[in-house]
Amino acid sequence: MEEGKIPLLGEKFPEMEVQTTHGKIKLPDYYKGKWFILFSHPADFTPVCTTEFVAFQLRYNKFKEMNTELIGLSIDQVFSHIKWTEWIKENIKVNEEPVEIKFPIIADDTGKVAGKLGLIHPSKGTNTVRAVFIVDPEATIRAILYYPQELGRNMDEILRMVKGLQTSDKHDVAVPANWPNNEIVGSNVIIPPASSEMEAKERLERAKTGEIECFDWWLCHKKVEG
């Protein structure tokens, strides 16, 4: 992969050893057999980033229930990450409970990791952009999100994306807009379009039996479990 180039969907996550608040970790091997989300933030001790880390931590158990781990990153040293997460625990409470950041954070003070993943904003000095990489158990990059510094991320959308990708893989289907609350098919998923006239006719016959539902031969949907 070219240095400074944003990885492409479908590429393997690049191999690297990183220093984190949980010690040295080799990526992507450390998460072998699991999904993981690597997300970068501009800097420690900044307001929007603090709200994001709290939001990620509050949903950490939901991610883990989907066999998904979290790992943060910024161009800060380990001691900065540690002091920042200590500050969050001491000063931020949700439902009267202190927020303790339990996932690792990469200390990329040399900028090597950010450079390898194309995370340096060209007009923001050395700050990393707000990026999200969703990586599957085969170490394949399945989704990438990039946000400007002034806009915090929506963690529920990232949860939805992981669930949607896992559902797509499990059932060989596509996932509609706003799923699982789509305006026309609800929580159903989309069956891939027919690839022949015969398959199109068979699909409409299946719809007559109630096995699937179709608006037309090219727009069919069904309910799936899990």
* Residues catalogued as catalytic: 49
* Beta strands at 35-40 and 130-135: parallel, antiparallel or unpaired: antiparallel
Characterize 141-165 residue by residue with b for buried, 16 or more Cβ atoms within 10 angstroms of its Cβ, and e for exposed: bbbbbebebeebbebeebbbbbbbb
Check: CB of residue 224 under 8 Å from CB of residue 167.
yes
Check: CB of residue 69 under 8 Å from CB of residue 35.
yes
Instruction: Please give the torsion angle defined by the CA atoms of residues 39, 41, 47 and 51, in that order, rounded to the nearest 10 degrees.
Output: 0
